[in-house]
Chains A and B, each alone.
Chain A
């Protein structure tokens, strides 16, 4: 997985590049929007991490230009100056995520993984989660450590729903609606039952965390 880091501040760019490198990504750096455009034209990248406050063309303009050229490259925006308007504008322009400086390296790596995962799902129907979980959405198949795991229809819907929003909280209501297609009389308790079954089948390959009063979140297993 290759990431382009567009950031003019050397201290930050260096930290990001090293951090993402340790997290297992190949990282290239571009100190300006213009150089980033050149790099994107020449090479394939899976994700761009773009700082808003770039010299010359700023980050938002860069993203707008990228989208107007039809690029679907996932973009994560970094900013030191947060305003409502800027956050809304960035997302409206087609940025996929938004991270405030300063941030933790682990947070950045997790967001990058989630963005790439989503992009892969869109392009080839594959959802790779962590190092051990492979979800073939199109073929409705779950593999853990390359071994297929059998799921019932409702269990599959629960996993799919959680995996599509991996790393984010999925409300109980949403899960209930997702599986209600199969059974109109689905109760919140039934959701708990299915979630715990999926949890058992995933074993230690992935974590389904309960967010009390809200819902569930699919996380990579703790190191």
Chain B
């Protein structure tokens, strides 16, 4: 874990970085202090018992004729042997530093200050702890030195060290674990909000659910919802504007188209046919664009909620689209046909008709006379699809991505298109969570566009109704 904290560091990491290392340090220091305290306590206790031994020795000193005698016979020493491993030494010295009794080697290790005074030393190869007690007698000061090897102390120190560190280790680990769990759990509502935002499609403008949002984040979520509302409203008014504009245009366009058509047939316009044809062509482009803009506005996701989707049978839908486009295919000398199998999707029949209408429209526009356009559906309820295949010039592989963009037209392409057709298809497909794939048709000729819909929810399968009748 890096210790670097900049403002973009996640709160989760920030909390952990700010909490875990100081806590760990604090607990290590606490453990150390514990150890030190236990050690002092232990040493004092052992020193005390060592001193008691020295006091006992001193109490047994006798002065006879101005000379100090130790009454203690050597065999009395074992009472001080607490353990078999521990070695015990003593020596008693007179005022003139003459050995009265005991181990003469203890002499060199005379301790300094205090009475009794303690010191650590060596006796031969043994590490010892010794106490020096100066006892005043009528014959002067006698010095009692008692020493013991340190194996008991070492054992105790080891025990203290081990138990302190073991306790500390458990304590540190469980504290860190608790902090980690606490931070995680504490941030859960925040993560829930993040999950909610992440799981949305970027175009979705529905307000976020504010239930279960912690108080600190609530203003943020509220602000987001406010923003969504503004965006929704903007999208709605833009859509309304486009729809209004398209509607307003349609009536005069209808009049102009009608008059131009009549004029073309009028004998009085003889000789103007080519110029009238240019006008009619332009006019029908305007009409087509107005229709397409309206269709696009209608397909905007903000205009359509998935809640409004109904189970839709694709077979009658394809039949309607073919019927509507059949005259145009006859006029263009194309063979427009169908290859139908059962297929049902959850969606808006109206929009799917727009989608298919655009695909068929494109196929008719771009397939030369004598060609074939085939509309297929199938896949039942588990993998329903729509497909339109033509044997026209096809779309080069490099262009297949770009033809989906709004207002993009293939370089040098013929026909009345305004470049919105596939954009509308994309928009409607996205709304239905359907995937659009553009391929070459059979035998690598022409174009095959497939719209693969998601499976109809199992609970609703078998109850498919046709949502819109023509």
Contacts and interface: CB of A to CB of B under 8 A. Distances in A.
Interface in B314-335: 319, 322-323, 326-327, 330, 335
A12 B259 CA distance: 8
Contacts of A80: 247-248, 250-251, 254
Nearest to A104: B261
Contacts, number: 101
B350 interface: yes
Nearest to A168: B323
B466 to A, nearest CB: 12
Contact of A101 (B250, B327, B330, B349): B250
B330 A209 contact: yes
Contact of A102 (B248, B287, B326): B287
B469 to A, nearest CB: 8
Contacts of B336: 211-212
A147 interface: no
Chain A, interface size category, equals: 35 or more
Interface string B424-445: 0000000000000000000000
A15 B259 contact: yes
B252 interface: yes
Contacts of B265: 22
Nearest to A171: B319
A4 interface: no
Interface stretch (B154-162, B337-345, B400-408): B337-345
A214 B468 contact: no
Interface in A1-53: 9-12, 14-16, 18-19, 22, 53
Contacts of A101: 250-251, 253-254
Given A87-B468, A102-B250, A213-B338, 13 more contacts: A10-B255, A11-B252, A11-B256, A15-B262, A18-B259, A81-B247, A84-B468, A102-B258, A107-B327, A212-B336, A213-B339, A214-B319, A214-B340
Interface of A: 9-12, 14-16, 18-19, 22, 53, 78, 80-82, 84, 87-88, 91, 100-107, 168-169, 171, 209, 211-214, 217
Interface of B: 243, 247-248, 250-259, 261-262, 265, 287, 290-291, 294, 319, 322-323, 326-327, 330, 335-340, 349-350, 374, 468-469
